[in-house]
């Protein structure tokens, strides 16, 4: 037998969602008439925009004719897409990103998880706590940590607690770190970071030769033009930041799959002898070796979100979710709960009342009002005492859930 990668044995089982499913199943068996509403999902529910569907249909037809058939595409994505991204997502906000600096993929989860491969295994990684699990597991698999402790934290990571006390904005690390994962607007807390705060991180990275891995999957949910949508809105970020963006939450591509990663040509790492190496060339090499690209049809669909009709249609879906977010936020506040997020993000982060733990509050919501959410402790120890609700449900279900919480939850 071949010996396996022992680091995989350190991975914690994905206990969170299986435990939620188990508790809901048990409750349903005992209360078969209860109409359960799920506001725990982190997946979109609105269908693809008509402009996207139309573009995909047209691309399928092109594939059917010898004159317009396409085989393997360009490794970093078609220029019809990268040029639109550069123009609409960056130039329109005063940020220069060259289309060549954009590498199209089939998801930010994979890009966030895989990017660590281009860095040394001894790199010290800093993570927000609570955190999106893909950043964690990719680095555990690569052997950058020891075992997980009883509190769920892996030895070797530098955790950056994000709680109401620091406005869900972490403090700069007090020790040297090489890689810093930041996610804004944040999943699960729904928090955003101001330009002033983000600049502190860019300055830290420049002073300490660190690289920021910036997950902007929810940038389309930002309502305030003063809140940065891209880390490249901060001066100096081109040299120290890689940015991840996805069509998943922006345009409902969670099932269709399309995303991109920006690696500016100015971003450098250090070779063993101290020579400067372009991070862009390494990521390009990694992707062209291990990833076959996003299909032509899907890239045409993604391109269509930048048409006038496409833009109007996707913002309609985002408005729909953000109205749900408002209903949840205001309804829960009326019910006497303390709520965070939900203003520039589809996540509402609720402080559990009366000193309840995240799981105790989960059980109370399930039993008292038949509403399912996600215990904050499942995202990391600093999520204990919080609870995540999402705005991705239908309007009807969202309103019904909030009404039940307002009238039926005994605090």
**Contacting residues toward ligand PLP, per CB under 6 A:** 42, 107-109, 132, 183, 187, 215, 217, 246, 248-249, 254, 259
CB of 214 to ligand PLP, least distance (A): 11
Measured from the CB atom, the residue of 318 and 405 that comes closer to ligand PLP is: 318
Residue 40 or 331 with smaller CB distance to ligand PLP: 40
Q: Which is nearer to ligand PLP, 128 or 335 (CB)?
A: 128
For residue 45, give every residue at least 6 positions away whose Cβ sits within 8 Å of its Cβ, in sequence order, or none.
Answer: 392, 393, 394
The least CB distance from residue 249 to ligand PLP, in Å, is: 6
Minimal distance, residue 278 CB to ligand PLP, in Å? 25
Residues whose CB is less than 8 angstroms from the CB of residue 48 and which lie 6 or more positions away in sequence, other chains included: 56, 251, 252, 253, 256, 301
Tokens 């914690």 belong to 12
Beta carbon of residue 185, minimum distance to ligand PLP (angstroms, whole number): 9
- For ligand PLP, the closer of residues 251 and 365 by Cβ is 251
For the bound state, the minimum distance from the C-beta of residue 349 to ligand PLP, rounded and expressed in Å, comes to: 14
Least gap, CB of 370 to ligand PLP (angstroms): 26
Shortest spacing between CB 191 and ligand PLP, in angstroms: 12
Place of tokens 């939620």: 20
Q: Which residue is nearest to ligand PLP (CB)?
A: 107
């Amino acid at each position: 037998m071949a010996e396996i990668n022992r680091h995989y044995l350190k991975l914690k089982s994905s206990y969170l969602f299986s435990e939620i499913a188990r508790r809901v199943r048990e409750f349903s068996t005992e209360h078969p008439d209860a109409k359960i509403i799920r506001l725990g999902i982190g997946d979109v529910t609105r269908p693809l925009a008509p402009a996207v569907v139309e573009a995909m249909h047209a691309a399928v037809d092109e594939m059917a004719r010898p004159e317009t058939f396409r085989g393997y595409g360009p490794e970093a994505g078609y220029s019809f897409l990268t040029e639109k991204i550069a123009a609409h997502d960056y130039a329109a906000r005063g940020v220069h990103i060259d289309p060549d600096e954009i590498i199209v993929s089939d998801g930010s989860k994979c890009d966030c998880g895989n990017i660590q491969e281009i860095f040394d295994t001894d790199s010290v990684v800093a993570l927000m706590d609570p955190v999106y699990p893909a950043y964690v597991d990719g680095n555990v698999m690569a052997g950058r940590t020891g075992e997980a402790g009883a509190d769920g934290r892996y030895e070797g990571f530098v955790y950056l607690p994000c709680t109401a006390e620091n406005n869900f904005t972490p403090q700069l690390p007090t020790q040297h770190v090489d890689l810093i994962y930041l996610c804004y607007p944040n999943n699960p807390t729904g928090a955003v970071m101001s330009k002033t705060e983000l600049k502190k991180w860019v300055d830290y990275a420049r002073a300490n030769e660190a690289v920021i891995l910036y997950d902007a999957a929810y940038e389309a949910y930002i309502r305030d033009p003063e809140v940065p949508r891209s880390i490249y809105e901060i001066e100096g970020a081109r040299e120290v930041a890689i940015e991840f963006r996805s069509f998943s939450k922006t345009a409902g591509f969670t099932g269709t799959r399309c995303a991109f990663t920006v690696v500016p040509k100015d971003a450098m790492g250090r070779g063993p002898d101290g020579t400067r190496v372009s991070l862009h060339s390494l990521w390009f090499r990694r992707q062209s070796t291990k990833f076959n690209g996003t299909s032509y049809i899907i890239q045409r669909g993604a391109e269509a979100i930048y048409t006038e009709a496409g833009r109007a249609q996707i913002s309609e879906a985002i408005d729909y979710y953000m109205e749900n977010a408002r209903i949840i936020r205001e309804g829960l506040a009326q019910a006497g709960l303390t709520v965070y997020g939900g203003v520039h993000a589809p996540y509402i982060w609720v402080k559990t009342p009366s000193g309840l733990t995240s799981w105790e509050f989960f059980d109370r919501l399930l039993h008292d009002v038949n509403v399912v959410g996600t215990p904050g402790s499942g995202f990391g120890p600093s999520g204990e005492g919080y609870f995540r609700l999402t705005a991705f449900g239908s309007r009807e279900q969202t309103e019904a859930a909030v009404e039940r919480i307002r009238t039926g939850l005994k605090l």
